[in-house]
Amino acid sequence: MTETLALAKALIARRSLTPDDAGCQEILIERLEKLGFTIERMRFGNVDNFWARRGINAPVVVFAGHTDVVPSGPVESWFSPPFEPTIRDEMLFGRGAADMKTSIAAFITAIEAFVEDHPQHDGSIALLITSDEEGVAVDGTVRVVEALQARGETLDYCIVGEPTSNKLVGDMIKNGRRGSLNGTLVVQGVQGHIAYPHLVKNPIHMVSPAIAELATTVWDEGNEYFPPTSWQISNMNGGTGATNVVPGTVDILFNFRFSTASTELELKNRVHAILDKHGVKYDLLWELSGKPYITPKGNLVEAISRAIEQSYGITPELSTSGGTSDGRFIADICAQVIEFGPLNATIHKLNECVAVADIEPLKLTYQRTLENLLCK
């Protein structure tokens, strides 16, 4: 059993349902302190986070991740208990195996091996670890970033250990993410008896032409890294349940997944313009849950791509697909942010697992990326 596998099993054995860290971070801190890291425990609300750094000079290479996991679902449907790490058919099973305790274990053992080989390395190595990524994500990475930003710390490179691989480990790096902008639209009408249409104003009828235009609008064409921005309705509710009553309001929840080709303000202004154009009487509340960010080809992308080719024999594809990650917060203080980790096929599912054969190459990928960035 390798050090990485042993550490991954130790972390999986902790029942760290978000936002409970369940002692995972203390396991990591104990190992990092032995390497000379300065540790800052940052607890916000009921969320445990820590910031660890070795070195005072630039460039600063950060490994970021989360120790919390989603609920297991029905335990009886697992092949083995979800918090008893089990190796079967050369796979490591357990909640968090792919998302993302194996990555965190690989962070630690990669750093240990790198420091042993390069005790006087250039620059700095840091870790940003939270237990609030799978939940509401308000007292985790975002709060740590705010604290670092308040004291003027900037980071050069960040690797988030999310499970990015698609069919084979190493086939995909996330070098950015789309933004997510939510709208809660309440269209006002006049409720009344359906048999007296001259006395009512049906809000569903009133808003339908605007919906048709919103659905067919080309918001942008995307760019080299992003597909075109998408507008989608997720929920639409109106009516009393009776068949003879016109509703007084209709509630519509919609979302933009938007690229760096559009801004939050541009999208908001265009939505309001379309609604106003169609004479809709409405209230609209906005919520930005993530800004888009991109890391173009450069030092970090090249460094980890070379490391992946050495470790897995695969040339990775760059992608900005999928939902949001904590990279959206870190990008505020870090010029280059990428995500790379195991296969994502079983994340959040029953019988989550990773191949044992993929674990040591993951550690070597992180270790070689450090060498590519910090060794002249």
Binding residues: 66, 99, 134, 162, 348
Other beta carbons less than 10 A from residue 260's beta carbon: 20
- Catalytic residue selected from 20, 48, 68, 326: 68
CA nearest neighbour of 24 among 82, 101, 110: 101
- Catalytic residue selected from 112, 133, 139, 358: 133
116 is catalytic: no
- Annotated binding residues for Zn(2+): 66, 99, 134, 162, 348
68 is catalytic: yes
What does the alpha-carbon distance between residue 196 and residue 246 come to, in Å, rounded to a whole number? Answer: 10
What does the alpha-carbon distance between residue 251 and residue 375 come to, in Å, rounded to a whole number? Answer: 57
Phi and psi angles of residue 221, each rounded to the nearest 5 degrees, phi first: -100, 5
User: Hey, which residues does 258 pair with through a beta bridge?
Assistant: 179
The letter for the amino acid at 130 is T
CB 356 within 8 A of CB 87: yes
User: Hey, which residues does 337 pair with through a beta bridge?
Assistant: 158
State in Å, rounded, how far the first CA of the chain is from the last one: 32
Residue 247's contacts (CB-CB under 8 Å, 6 or more residues apart) are 189, 191, 202, 203, 204, 238, 239, 240
DSSP 138-186: SSSHHHHHHHHHHTT--EEEEEE----BSSSTTSEEE-EE-EEEEEEEE
Q: What is the DSSP letter of 18?
A: T
Which residues are annotated as catalytic?
68, 133
